Structure 1
Amino acid sequence: MSTRDDPAGCRDGSGAAQGARLVVDDHGVVVEWSSQAQALLGYPAEEVLGRRVSVLLNGPGERTDPGASEVRGAVAEPAVRHRSGQVLEVGIQIWPTVSEGGAVWWTVLLTPEGDSGGPSIDSAVLRAVLTQSPLGLQVLDPDLRLMRFSAAAPGVRGLLGDEVIGRPLREVAPGVVDDALERMLRDVLDTGRPVIDVEHAGRPPSDPDHEHIYSVSLYRLQDRAGGVLGLLAASTDICERHRARAGLDLLLDASTRIGTTLDVGTTCEELVGVAVPGLADIAVVDILDEVLEGKAPQPGPVSSHAVLRRAAFKSTEGALASVAYRVGEVNLSYPRSFRDCLADLRPRLVQHLEIDSEWAVHDARRAELIRRTGAHSLMVVPLTARGIVLGLASFYRTATPDPFEEDILALTADLGARAALCIDNARRYTRERTAALILRSSLLPQALPDQNAVDVALHHVSTAAGDWYDVIPLSGARVALVVGHVPGHGMAAAAAMGQLRVAINTLAAQDLAPDELLADLDDLVTGAAGRGAPSARTHPTREQAIGATCVYAVYDPISRRCTLARAGHPAPVIASPQGVVAVPDVPAGPALGSGRPPYGTSELEISEGSTLALFTSSLVTTHDCDPQQGLTRLRHVLGNPLPALQDTCDAIIRAQHPLTPDNDVVLLLARTRALAADQVASWTLPNDPSVVTDARSLTSRQLATWGMQELDFTTQLLVSELVTNAIRYATGPVRQRLIRDRTLICEVTDDSSTAPHLRQADLADEGGRGLYLVAQLSGRWGTRFTARGKTIWAEQALP
């Protein structure tokens, strides 16, 4: 017999105050008899040792056998018979005890009825815990054999004590006890450290078809001397709590993963990514066609004939070899549950999905796929936000055996509502972005103008609608190159960009120097261009333009000189025909609207065939590299150009990896040309009215050389008026120049800064008709000021 304390807490001969103690073996034979037992029942030890205990404990018409199934309750109050024949009412506590041979014996504690003290209370408490409490309690011996359990606990109802008592716990509940739990049990036995509230999944004997989640706590049982008696395992089924927490976790996950972008398709993909596999085995999102275009359907239910387009799909691994509808494909017909969902905007639950003839008629492709995958449960949720229907989300279970329940449907509807709000935000952004891009497209050059000064290649990708470029032909065969950026997105940025571009074209037509042009542009942004003009702070478009950047370059193919100025913009990069790449020292003027002009210029002579690269800062600055690295890649490609300028442009874009379609980038490459010497003729004339005749003769001879006799008469008239006007107001020599480009350009330069003024002369006036005549004879004309005077020019179309 083991010398461990029995569960009642007494050793042999020490339990008088608590009751009479005896021990029976696994056959019901008394093997120990205490003096308290002799005092209570009157039998001396020599009369009972070796006899069956039923002889002593039987009441009238009863049989109490510690080996019977009643033992598992461990508490009883039968009548026992005294040696004299008197029937005694006693309380009985029975505890399993492991003998030295390893057999299960039973310690019996008899307490006379009416005795006060702990045992009666303990018996009542123990009886309540083991028979009424929903808490699962299992008492295990050191070999993890089941010694006692609470019969009312979930998962073990229906088990018979005589079938499981003394058996290893893993044999009793193989679906619950696995290697991990068994290691945990032995660790508690070995270390004595309890395990509190650990979650464990398993399939209990009472419900082997469904997985349950338990909260398990383990405690080592010891006697007063520290001897290990076994383990107490306390568990409770937390499936409902676990499901509620999983639902909250799913919604929290959705709040962080859905709506990370303002793209409808991406948002739909994020929805199915959250739903699979945590909620369903297959998740599908179908969106109304007009929503994908950024349009808003009419509020309320939609027609059952509405066009739905597949926007996202996801399944667990191996659930599908193919899909019924590919992403982007239209579905014009769908089953009744889908149509009803669109009609009343209420979610639908089909716990047990059956593919009947109605499915085959309205959606045969989906029906066939459901058959093949074994989908058995379905939820359909409308995606609605701000009163409008966006589409449908459908969820299927294939591998998961349990069907969807009503609480899962409520959770899914909440998930759909959150996702629908993100989808609608993306739709509204798509609508505004589309409108902004249409506006931007209408405000940008529809085609680059014809000119002979430079060859041009362009790469322009803009989602913000605030980047722009321009190639502007100027007088004297020159050309202006412009690249700019307006901060911000949407319609306001597009409108500000359009306003700045129009202003630059207007100022460029006045032949302003680059620094003067930027200064006037800054005045426009700040509202200081005219008296009484509204300030930028009260004008939305001007306020949007504050902080805009711009680089402006003017190239002259005759002198091969380039003049540059910039306002808060990256300096251009210039590559010579020999592959030498340099960044010119252009003064870094402030961004427009910052109120810190003036702006400086840089003028340099560049070789014919050189390449100028004007770009926005986004070309060389990406999220994973600094501007110097991007500038180094740009210089490398420019130093090794491809024969075709557009190929070089594309190579630069490829080199700036990882650019994405969402990057706003403008890259303008201009390869310089030079006019041949025989395309330009110039003369310096003294300030004398008599030289007008010489100017006309020189012009006539030059036109004959070029084979342009058809223009001789009109050109002589133009030269006469321009030279006469110059001699009248200038004090020094007059310079005349003819340029044969895409047009015939006639220029007269003098040292006077007086600007000519076109006016309508009266019939009686003797003068005032000269510039009017120039305007009538030429295609266009104008004045540009130089450092030492002005140049009046006029252009005629070539024959």
Structure 2
Amino acid sequence: MEKDVSAFLGRLAHELRPRSDQWAGLLMERTRGELPELWQHEGLAQRALSETADHITAFLDALEQGRDVIEAQAPPAALELARGFAEGGVPLSTLLRTYRLAHVGLLQLLQEEATRLTDDQRLATAATLGLIETGFAYVDHSSEQVVAAYQKVRDRRVQRRLVITNEASRRIGTTLDTVRTAEELAEVGATGFADLATVDLLDSLLQDGDQHPPADAPVLRRVAQRSVLDGCPDSPVDTGERHAYTPESAPAEVLATGRPLLLQVAAQDTPPWLAPPDPPRPGFHSVLLLPLYARGTTLGLAQFVRHRTPTPFDGDDLVLAQEIAARAAVNIDNARRYTHERTTALTLQRSLLPQRPVEQSAVKAAARYLPSGSRAGVGGDWYDVIPLSGGRVALVVGDVVGRGLHAAATMGRLRTAVRAFADIDLMPDELLTHLDDVVIRLQREEGLEGGEISATCLYAVYDPATRLCSLASAGHVPPAVAAPAAVAETAGPPSIDAETAGAAPTSAQAAALPALPIGPPLGLGGLPFETAQWNLPEGSLLALYTDGLVQSRTRDMDASLALLSDTLRQGSDSSMSPDEACDRLLAVMLSGHPSDDVALLVARTRALDPGHVATLDLPSDPAAVSGARRFAADTLSSWSLDELSFATELIVSELVTNAIRYGKPPVHLRLVLDSALTCEVFDANSTAPHMRRARTFDEGGRGLLLVAQLSERWGTRHGREGKTIWAEQALP
């Protein structure tokens, strides 16, 4: 019986062999309704037909020749189809289901043919059982080989996607620049994943850093694109070009709904938003549209297109692209927020810095401010030039610890406080003490612990009449000083005295960093500051700066300070302006974008003509008032300012009378002619006078009111030994 069954099956296979292609078509028609997703991949469906015919032929060969089907190898077309399923992202379950459906269909056809060939029921039944056994064995054996081929390609795809994911993690978001981050997304997308990758961002987002709800046709800007073809000839939009998608287009739908789309495009039906205008057009066949969405904000759209790669995008590719786009969107949003905050902070900081040169004659000054080139954000560096009484000037440089808007706002508050304290003519160390209290109060008001608000500050006062420079530092780097070349040849080191003002004048060194006593940073409280004083030759260069100028990754601090001194010395020639000195210092000290903010203030000192300063020592006797008036009248006559004589005599009379009556000896009168005429009266009493309202029958109390009416401004400044009352009049 067994021989009869084998012979019958061999005859059956021999008669059916010419019809294998026909049967393959029938089996494919039967599976079309069961597996409609297979026909979404036109290339795979055609290869499946050929693969089915090869399987039928191999199975019939085994039946006809009586071979063991376990020894049969799966047809090459079957292995190639399995690889195609894996490349196309078709699930393995779909592949195995095609085997089951084709196996069942083939057994049904064979059973029908077996019944037609014989009337022997026993033989037909035995043949059917043999077909079932052989068919299952063939399917089991061939499916093992097919699954192995599928899994190998699938593992390779998974590995490739892991590589792409890792590359995206490594390469996207390396900077806090919005456009560069978009370029990184396009570069990753066009490397082994898509043939063309484009990134569009909302134009409103790029213009003002804010985002507006997408309109029906929002305007976008093509900020980045990469292609496997040089120059992106396959893109209809140029980089940097503004454009809009029509409301009914797929990109507009993605922007409006926030849902990604996977599109399979026929070559003859390429939409206009995808195809470049000039022929020949690439054969676009598969497109991924991904919304760039982060933190509830729509940022733009990313597109990945295939036209050179034959395999279309699949569901796995869509998931991978979503992950990459989501990661890039967060980085783009971070860059957008950083750029917006940095721009705001920089605008705020520049608005708080001096906008134009301050009118004063003590020094000729120039300043520069450079924000850092790092992602840390704008810092709190500042500088200031403040005119003081008696032709003096205050030079200030400071640095608030921290970054961003908070640091810029704190800088503005401290700069305002410094100006307020400078108006009452405090000594540098006293000013820093009061400024220290301000910082501590800010810490308490904001509820910060551990001294999160901190700053450094260098405050210098230069008097052109005496050429005396007084400085105090709160944790700030010392200034650099360069004397004119003619003076430097015979100069020694700067004469510094932290206790005594008016030490014997000595020339500053050619370029030196004075041994300035540096106090603690602002915000610690309870620690003293010291004022250092020295005389500067006329025409000296004084450079005040923040530590961003001397910090370098390639030089230590000592080398940077030496380079700073040498560069300043080269600019000590009187022909070089402070503006040119600033530019030279920045060019030499900085090799590129600074890692920290830089504030630089360079001043060339001027000396007041000794003939424009008149001093008189007065005895503590009311009779000396008349002599002071005569001295003032004679001095103004020698200066050809007779028209100011009357007002000046009244001012001198009131100030000297107050000093003799309420002050302590010694009493000094000084007249200073500079951009204004200043009358100063010094006495050793530290108690400051103040204006009061005099009643009708009061005999006194109107002196300071009279001084205030006759002068443009007046005030009191305190020193170590007493106070000076001054009044300033405009020159005719």
TM range (shorter): 0.7 to 0.9
How far off is 1:277 after superposition?
A: 0.6
Residues 370-769 of structure 1: matches in 2 within 5 Å? 371=280, 375-462=284-371, 463-527=377-441, 536-539=443-446, 546-578=453-485, 580-595=510-525, 597-641=527-571, 643-660=576-593, 663-769=596-702
Three-state SS of the structure 1 residue aligned to 2:254 is helix
How far off is 1:63 after superposition?
A: 9.8
Unaligned runs of 5+ in 1: 1-58, 65-125, 132-149, 159-203, 214-231, 528-534
How far off is 1:604 after superposition?
A: 1.3
1:320 aligns with 2:232: yes
Distance change >3 Å, CA 371–CA 291, structure 1 → 2: farther
Q: 1:310 is matched by which residue type in structure 2?
A: R
Distance change >3 Å, CA 325–CA 687, structure 1 → 2: farther
How far off is 1:296 after superposition?
A: 4.0
Higher helix share: 2
Looking at structure 2, the residues matched to 381 and 793 of structure 1 have their Cα atoms a distance apart, in angstroms, of 72
Residues 286-365 of structure 1: matches in 2 within 5 Å? 286-293=200-207, 295-298=209-212, 302-316=214-228, 318=230, 320=232, 325-333=237-245, 336-352=249-265, 354=267, 359=272
How far off is 1:507 after superposition?
A: 1.1
Distance change >3 Å, CA 306–CA 795, structure 1 → 2: same
1:795 aligns with 2:731: no
**Is the deviation greater in 671-680 or in 345-354?**
345-354
Q: 2:676 is matched by which residue type in structure 1?
A: T
User: RMSD value over aligned CA atoms?
Assistant: 3.5
How far off is 1:536 after superposition?
A: 2.1
Q: 1:414 is matched by which residue type in structure 2?
A: E
Three-state SS of the structure 2 residue aligned to 1:320 is coil
Distance change >3 Å, CA 371–CA 762, structure 1 → 2: farther
**1:393-445 CA deviation, whole Å, 9 max, x = no partner?**
11223432323223212221222122212222222333333333333233222
Q: Counterpart of 1:221?
A: none
How far off is 1:491 after superposition?
A: 2.2
Q: 2:181 aligns with which of 250, 267, 272?
A: 267
How far off is 1:473 after superposition?
A: 0.8
Q: Counterpart of 1:281?
A: 195
Distance change >3 Å, CA 413–CA 209, structure 1 → 2: closer
Q: 1:748 is matched by which residue type in structure 2?
A: V
Distance change >3 Å, CA 62–CA 753, structure 1 → 2: closer
**1:125-158 CA deviation, whole Å, 9 max, x = no partner?**
x967655xxxxxxxxxxxxxxxxxx326xx5538
- Say if 2:400 and 2:407, in contact at 8 Å, map to a contact too: yes
- Say if 1:525 and 1:592, in contact at 8 Å, map to a contact too: yes
Q: Counterpart of 2:706?
A: 773
Distance change >3 Å, CA 369–CA 275, structure 1 → 2: farther
Three-state SS of the structure 2 residue aligned to 1:754 is coil
**Is the deviation greater in 625-634 or in 412-421?**
625-634
- Say if 1:496 and 1:541, in contact at 8 Å, map to a contact too: no
Higher strand share: 1
Q: 1:546 is matched by which residue type in structure 2?
A: I
Equivalences, count: 588
Looking at structure 2, the residues matched to 686 and 623 of structure 1 have their Cα atoms a distance apart, in angstroms, of 62
**1:617-664 CA deviation, whole Å, 9 max, x = no partner?**
111113443323332332232122272321221122122333317641
Higher relative contact order (CA 8 A, sep 6+): 2
How far off is 1:458 after superposition?
A: 1.3
Distance change >3 Å, CA 733–CA 569, structure 1 → 2: closer
Distance change >3 Å, CA 429–CA 597, structure 1 → 2: same
- Say if 1:525 and 1:545, in contact at 8 Å, map to a contact too: no
- Say if 2:245 and 2:251, in contact at 8 Å, map to a contact too: no
Distance change >3 Å, CA 779–CA 417, structure 1 → 2: same
Looking at structure 1, the residues matched to 484 and 69 of structure 2 have their Cα atoms a distance apart, in angstroms, of 98
Three-state SS of the structure 1 residue aligned to 2:351 is helix
Distance change >3 Å, CA 498–CA 208, structure 1 → 2: closer
Q: 2:516 is matched by which residue type in structure 1?
A: V
Looking at structure 2, the residues matched to 699 and 353 of structure 1 have their Cα atoms a distance apart, in angstroms, of 100
Looking at structure 2, the residues matched to 458 and 644 of structure 1 have their Cα atoms a distance apart, in angstroms, of 12
- Say if 2:513 and 2:565, in contact at 8 Å, map to a contact too: no
**1:737-776 CA deviation, whole Å, 9 max, x = no partner?**
1111111111111222221122121222211111111112
Looking at structure 1, the residues matched to 589 and 454 of structure 2 have their Cα atoms a distance apart, in angstroms, of 25
Looking at structure 2, the residues matched to 722 and 438 of structure 1 have their Cα atoms a distance apart, in angstroms, of 46
Q: Counterpart of 1:151?
A: 74
Distance change >3 Å, CA 445–CA 756, structure 1 → 2: same
Residues 179-198 of structure 1: matches in 2 within 5 Å? none
- Say if 1:585 and 1:602, in contact at 8 Å, map to a contact too: no
Unaligned runs of 5+ in 2: 1-5, 12-66, 90-144, 372-376, 489-509
How far off is 1:573 after superposition?
A: 0.9
**1:525-545 CA deviation, whole Å, 9 max, x = no partner?**
123xxxxxxx72452589876
Three-state SS of the structure 2 residue aligned to 1:458 is strand
Three-state SS of the structure 1 residue aligned to 2:302 is strand
Three-state SS of the structure 2 residue aligned to 1:157 is helix
Three-state SS of the structure 2 residue aligned to 1:470 is strand
Looking at structure 1, the residues matched to 192 and 181 of structure 2 have their Cα atoms a distance apart, in angstroms, of 18
1:242 aligns with 2:156: yes
Looking at structure 2, the residues matched to 564 and 326 of structure 1 have their Cα atoms a distance apart, in angstroms, of 58
Three-state SS of the structure 2 residue aligned to 1:763 is coil
Residues 14-53 of structure 1: matches in 2 within 5 Å? none
Distance change >3 Å, CA 647–CA 696, structure 1 → 2: same
Looking at structure 1, the residues matched to 85 and 149 of structure 2 have their Cα atoms a distance apart, in angstroms, of 18
- Say if 1:738 and 1:745, in contact at 8 Å, map to a contact too: yes
